[in-house]
Structure 1
Amino acid sequence: MTYAATRSRVESYFDGTATKVWADLTSDAPVSKVRATVRAGRDRMRDVILSRLPDDLTGMRVLDAGCGTGAKTAVLAARGADVVAVDVSPKLLDIAAKRLPDGLRPQVGFAAIDMFSPDLGSFDAVVAQDSMIYYGADDLARNLDALSARCPQIVLSVAPRTPLLMAMFWAGKTFPRADRSPAMVPHSAADLAPRLSAPLTRIERVTSGFYISECLELRA
């Protein structure tokens, strides 16, 4: 599937059936035990990603690529950053805007736009939590390379190539495309690194129930 087709599928999914699920998962709303482990894993990964940036972000322009309901956006703005928060889902952006504390609104701009769009300009840092997990290695590397030319630091998470995730990936391909959510594409840092111009570093793997994600960092 092409990058554009995958992006369109992700947009349809998160702007459709997944909107309420995602809103609940990223809030204090009661969820099932399984989703509670996913919530805990996502919270940990968010902390890991944010820990790679300075505590004081005053004067820095930061892209929250695939901001979802805006948890990272709020933290980045509270640290002083001017945040460009983008997502493919206008519905999730609406939730993020409503959840953002009033005092932080002057520092945040929301946009329903491709997170790799050159129209967004240059940044001091980019954070991307689980928003790049649907794209193949060639598409991901090509877009990361273009983005790293406009930003000296990119901190992202990917689905690692574990036996479990690879089994889920191939099993998912047996279902009719219309009956399944966008498939995660597992990646390994060893496979991605040679495709990139900037050095790639593995930071931490987070495993919590069904949530498995790995933090990577590019520094130009």
Structure 2
Amino acid sequence: MAHSVASNTYAESRGRLEQYFDQTARKAWEDLTSDVPVSGIRATVRAGRDEMRGLLLSTLPTDMHGMRLLDAGCGTGALAIAAAERGAEVVAIDVSQGLIDVAARRAPEGLSIDWRVGDMRDRSLGIFDHVIAMDSLIHYEMMDVVGVLDAWSGRTNHIAFTFAPGTLMLRAMHMAGKLFPRSDRSPAIKPIAEASLSRAIDTALPEWQVDFTKRVSSGFYKSQAMGVSRR
């Protein structure tokens, strides 16, 4: 697959995310990913994110000593920290310097985590045993998602990621703009039909297979995990 096919839309989406998290919503996301009280809507999002993080972590070995993991779109770092506590050498990258600052401050001492600000596709990050991308691809068009998977495909044998499921309910919520309050609404979420995504992966990455898909639904949090691996 040619990486340039979706480069314009990828760059535009990435730019919107960087601006949103660094200029608009850093404090809101810092609170959401902490233990401070939040509104009812945000409480459902927090619970859903906790469930999804647990699901993605369940796809990883419990003992990760000697393994490298890429946490792509690490946000405030909860998943990266959990993987590092299992012994993994973690590279945790995000578009937002502000979120990386929060993550690095929260991380316990003694863990092997390389906090980075940049593009999650960056080949200079190296080779990994596992790549995890929790809710970092939900703002991208389907072919951009496949393009990111393609960028990782030569540097790992296992990827677990999430996408916004193309359900009627989520599409209605998306169209109505009700996923977040207007004051700090995130960049548009791009619902994707699971069957279409699976076909696109089969076409673009014929040496890879879909291992599992599982949806997490908690109030206003709707996200679907998918695991793919080399055949």
TM-score by length of 1: 0.92
SS of alignment partner, residue 150 of structure 1 = coil
The equivalences for 1:165-176 within 5 A come to: 165-172=170-177
* Cα displacement string for residues 151-173 of structure 1 (whole angstroms, at most 9, x for unaligned residues): 1000111110111111233344x
SS of alignment partner, residue 16 of structure 1 = helix
Residue aligning to 2:210: 200
2:25 alignment partner, one of 14, 18, 27: 18
Does the CA contact (< 8 Å) of 2:166 and 2:194 recur in 1?
no
Matched, 1:84 2:91: yes
Structure 1 regions of 5+ residues with no counterpart? Answer: 173-178
Residue aligning to 2:43: 36
Does the CA contact (< 8 Å) of 2:121 and 2:148 recur in 1?
yes
Does the CA contact (< 8 Å) of 2:71 and 2:93 recur in 1?
yes
Residue aligning to 2:5: none
CA RMSD of aligned residues (A): 1.4
Residue aligning to 2:142: 137
2:56 aligned partner, one-letter code: I
* Cα displacement string for residues 29-54 of structure 1 (whole angstroms, at most 9, x for unaligned residues): 11011111110000000000000010
SS of alignment partner, residue 69 of structure 1 = coil
Residue aligning to 1:175: none
Cα distance in 2 for residues equivalent to 1:2 and 1:34: 30
The equivalences for 1:1-220 within 5 A come to: 2-104=9-111, 107-172=112-177, 181-196=186-201, 197=205, 198-220=208-230
Structure 2 regions of 5+ residues with no counterpart? Answer: 1-7, 178-183
Does the CA contact (< 8 Å) of 2:166 and 2:193 recur in 1?
yes
TM-score by length of 2: 0.88
1:17 aligned partner, one-letter code: T
* Cα displacement string for residues 162-192 of structure 1 (whole angstroms, at most 9, x for unaligned residues): 11111233344xxxxxx96310111122111
Alignment identity in percent? 51
Q: How many residues align?
A: 212
SS of alignment partner, residue 80 of structure 2 = helix
Does the CA contact (< 8 Å) of 2:128 and 2:156 recur in 1?
yes
Does the CA contact (< 8 Å) of 1:189 and 1:200 recur in 2?
no
Does the CA contact (< 8 Å) of 2:212 and 2:228 recur in 1?
no
1:57 aligned partner, one-letter code: M
State the shift of 1:23 in Å. Answer: 0.4
1:36 aligned partner, one-letter code: A
Cα distance in 1 for residues equivalent to 2:210 and 2:150: 11
Cα distance in 1 for residues equivalent to 2:210 and 2:94: 24
2:211 aligned partner, one-letter code: T
